[in-house]
Amino acid sequence: MNVEATLAVEWWVVNGPKIAEGGLRIALTVIIAVVIRFLLRRLIDRMTRGNGGRKPKLLKPLRERAPQALGALVSERREQRAKTIGSVLKSFVTVIVFGIAFIQILTEVGMNPAPILTSAGILGVAIGFGAQNLVKDFLSGMFMMLEDQYGVGDVVDLGPATGTVESVALRITTIRDTNGTVWYVRNGEILRVGNSSQGFAVAVVDLPLGYGANLSSAAEVLSKAVVAATDEESMAKDVIDKPQVLGVEKVTPEGITMRVTVKVRPGRQWAVQRALRAKLMPALEEAGISLKSS
């Protein structure tokens, strides 16, 4: 056996067990990281899954503002919200688990992870500055999801667009307006949200009267007509409080406007408004109350 072979054998005898032991530890670290990641992601999937239309476990600690009027859309809203939050948690778990495993492997091979972590931190800051709008969109979307400011089926005014929410993601909210146009609004650009589908809504009906109308008689007729209309089965299911005849809302050169309001279920104010106009205008005409001429 030559000198080189002898040195190689001696080196392996001295360092071989350490290398094998280190390789085994690295392999074990990778396997443990993969298993932990798999188990945590499975746990997140279970927490974001709603069985039989029930609320996902992940959303139970979080506040929910889903309006009852959405009906079947509530499940879709919850599912989309849970999946979006779950995807963020999965990404977070992946980064943390594999990051710890990576540091452990560097330590195992004798490298100091501190300089690498410092460089990664500087690179992360640089990327953050370069993609600050993207980061802003994601952070805004995450907080919006956690707070449940709006969801699928809600009628919202986001400033750039007004309409019904069709989908909500971490970066983009999709809205369809009354003309059928689909708007894609970046979450980072949303400075305020007007939600017409939370808590309750108010159906407001303005009725134009002529100057010759007797306001006391008109108020009496409207009071009886609006009570009768809201007691009907088709409308009663949407009404949650007694209607009010507020009286004269404004006086213009063309005539006088009287206002009637009804507190209704969220999202049902427009349907109730249309139904009330169809009932109240004929009631005024039958009572001989003069209406504003067009």
Question: Which phi and psi (to 5°) does residue 248 adopt?
Answer: -70, 125
Judge whether 210 and 254 are in contact, CB under 8 Å: no
Mean pLDDT calculated for residue range 178-205? 86
Banded pLDDT at 238 (limits 50, 70, 90): confident
Q: What pLDDT shows up at residue 284?
A: 87
Q: What is the pLDDT of residues 194-233, one digit of tens each?
A: 888 777 888 999 988 888 788 888 888 999 999 999 888 8
CA–CA dist 146, 86 (Å, integer): 11
Provide long-range contacts, Cβ within 8 A and 24+ apart, for 235-242. Answer: 235/272, 235/275, 235/276, 238/264, 238/265, 238/268, 238/271, 238/272, 239/263, 239/264, 239/272, 240/200, 240/264, 240/265
As a whole number, mean pLDDT of residues 269-289 equals: 88
Q: Which CATH class is domain 154-195?
A: mainly beta
Domains of the chain, by residue range, sit at 11-46+75-144, 154-195, 201-287
- As a whole number, mean pLDDT of residues 110-129 equals 64
- How far apart are the C-alpha atoms of 190 and 172, rounded to whole Å? 10
How many other C-beta atoms can be found within 10 angstroms of the C-beta atom of residue 274? 11
Average pLDDT over residues 81-106: 81
> Would you say the pTM of this structure is higher than 0.85?
no
Task: Reply yes or no on whether the pLDDT at 74 is more than 60.
Answer: no
Mean pLDDT of 63-86: 61
Confidence of residue 262 (pLDDT cuts 50, 70, 90): very high
Tell me what the mean pLDDT of segment 167-189 comes to. Answer: 87
Which pLDDT value is given to residue 23?
A: 75
DSSP state for residue 180 in the 8-state scheme: S
Which CATH number does the domain 201-287 belong to among 3.30.70.100, 3.40.30.10, 1.20.140.10, 3.30.870.10?
3.30.70.100
State the architecture of 11-46+75-144 in CATH terms.
Answer: Orthogonal Bundle (1.10)
Task: Please list, in sequence order, all residues whose beta carbon lies within 8 angstroms of the beta carbon of residue 115, skipping any fewer than 6 positions away.
Answer: none
Residue 143 to residues 40, 147, 275: CA-CA distances in angstroms? 22, 6, 38
Per the model's pLDDT, the better-predicted residue between 34 and 79 turns out to be 34
Mean pLDDT calculated for residue range 44-57: 68
Radius of gyration of the chain (CA): 32
Task: Find the mean pLDDT for residues 114-140.
Answer: 68
